[in-house]
Amino acid sequence: MDENIEITLMEYEDNLKKYYDHLIDEYMMIRVGRANPKLIENIKVDYYGTRTPIIQTGNITVQDARMLVVSPWDVSTLKSIKAGIEAANLGVSVSDDGKIIRVGFPMLTEERRKEFSKDAKKLLEECKIAMRNARRDCLDIFKEMKKNSTISEDEYNSLEKDVQKTLDTFTDKADKSCEKKVSEIMEV
């Protein structure tokens, strides 16, 4: 197989993996009524005059199913960390005891669960669109090669099938991840 073809196929697969991984990261950010450190770790807080993600200011641990505990490395930053979490408007309760911050996650209402499910499906569709665009770009390269007689019609047809097969594999994974996330969200 031509080196350019291999490189193009590798880049295509890397792009699909990147889009799939991004989808999974986005799913981690959707609240499902359970405490998840990913929900707050990237909130920016004032840390010695610099906007810094919470994850870089202290430890975040899960106390129980609906409670996170933030233990700042420097207790003097407690108030700014608490203010940053409150300003993020996540619909959580935030309290501190002078040493640690407790972040409580309320039970989700049915309406809120449905909204989060819609969000998950919208993210899936955005991921699939990006993947289809990557397929189109890859096939455009192969069409150009065919036009320039670098590859034959048969080779192009074979490559087109391979590209579609790879896309199908990644979209199936994305669909399954979405189904799993929606069932997690709707679980009471």
The domains of the chain are located at 3-30+109-186, 37-104
How many C-beta neighbours within 10 Å does residue 134 have? Answer: 22
Distance separating alpha carbons of residues 12 and 138, to the nearest angstrom: 6
CATH code assigned to 37-104: 3.30.1360.40
Residue 49 confidence (pLDDT) above 80: yes
3-30+109-186 CATH fold? Topoisomerase I; Chain A, domain 4 (1.10.132)
Dump pLDDT digits (tens) for 113-169: 899 899 999 999 999 999 999 999 999 999 999 999 899 999 999 999 999 999 999
